[in-house]
Amino acid sequence: MSARILSGTEIAAQVRAELSGRAEALATTLGRPPGLAVVLVGDNPASRSYVTGKRKACNEIGVRTFDFDLPAATSMDELRSLLERLNSDGAVDGILVQLPLPAHLDERAAIEHIRPEKDVDGIHPENAGRLLRGEDGFVPCTPLGVVELLRRSHISTRGAHVVIVGRGQLVGRPLSCLMLRKGEGGDATVTVCHSATPDLARFTRDADILVAAAGRPRVVTAHMVREGAVVIDVGVNRVGTTASGKARLCGDVDFAPVAEKAAAITPVPGGVGPMTIAMLLSNTLRAAERARSSTPT
Ligand code: GUN
């Protein structure tokens, strides 16, 4: 079998086209463009590259970004006071603090400083708790992107055995909650595997939908995949540089041999990554729409 390639690039372009109309309508009703503050601390090259992509995508659909590139030596007090200012700024609908933060900063405290209504990354404890309880709130962008990619590819999760490799706060854990929810994009039977799971292949071979989010290059090899499975590769690992000096990327899945067995697979790059950005735009518009409906007239 040779897998159908699920192009996140193409699906994300459709999503962005739909969102750009919504952004335009919002700008008219708000009397200002929807706004996202994007905070980058330090000079991690991967983070800088993600942040550049996010800002560009926002500007292309009419979301104004407020860009804060802070030096690596920024103190917790400085970061806290910036977040407080952004929390009360009426032109800022969403706040994104790119992770990871430099080691001397308290990531948890920073996240808790973002007002939950502006937490378009869905990582504030209030939003994380809402997701766990199956309540409405902001959901992290990558898990949302995975669900949207499956939905738009007409791959149902209902009754499917979804095996997730990875239990991180940005992908594995929230994705497990999303796929357990009742209704479209959910209703799956979910298994979460991680670094302490013995004999990983025993679990992954049983997956109808296998999601690799371990953050380790090519941990999912062909013998771990059932013939006809759907394979979603969330990994973005930097493995050297190309001839033109760009980072060479590879996923958590050993793509070519796995594509021989799978029914469908996402590439890296061009799979989940563009969907993450599209969902950030979607969450930002949602934050702006909510801000509008809660503004006293
Ligand atoms: N670092 C890697 N992925 C993400 C993400 O989705 N949001 C934030 N804030 N940081 C990240």
* Sheet of 161-165, strands arranged across: 4-5, 264-265, 230-233, 209-212, 161-165, 189-193
Residue nearest to atom 9 of ligand 1 (CA): 98
270 pLDDT tier (thresholds 50, 70, 90) = very high
Q: Contact 58/65 with Cβ under 8 angstroms?
A: yes
Q: What is the whole-number distance in angstroms between the Cα of residue 167 and the centre of ligand 1?
A: 15
CA of residue 98 to ligand 1 center, whole Å:
5
Superfamily of domain 141-273: NAD(P)-binding Rossmann-like Domain (3.40.50.720)
Active site residue ranges: 54, 98, 121
Q: What is the pLDDT of residues 219-238, one digit of tens each?
A: 999 999 999 999 999 999 99
Tens-digit pLDDT profile for residues 108-147: 999 999 999 999 999 999 999 999 999 999 999 999 999 9
Give the confidence band of 295 by pLDDT, cuts at 50, 70, 90: low
For residue 34, give both structure tokens. Answer: 């929807």
- pLDDT tens by residue, 160-199: 999 999 999 999 999 999 999 999 999 999 999 999 999 9
Mention every residue, 6+ apart, whose C-beta is less than 8 A from residue 20.
60, 61, 62
Ranges in the chain annotated CATH 3.40.50.720: 141-273
- Provide CATH 3.40.50.10860 ranges for the chain: 31-115
Ligand 1 atom nearest to CA at 276 = 6
**Phi first, then psi: what are they for 72, rounded to 5°?**
-60, -30
* CA dist., res. 24 & res. 33, Å (int): 8
CA pair distance 14, 116, nearest whole angstrom: 28
147, 179 contact by CB (below 8 A): yes
Q: 283 CB less than 6 Å from ligand 1?
A: no
Which CATH code fits 31-115? 3.40.50.10860
**Residue 42 CA: distances (Å) to CA of 71, 121, 273:** 5, 19, 22
Q: How confident is the model at residue 39 (pLDDT cuts 50, 70, 90)?
A: very high
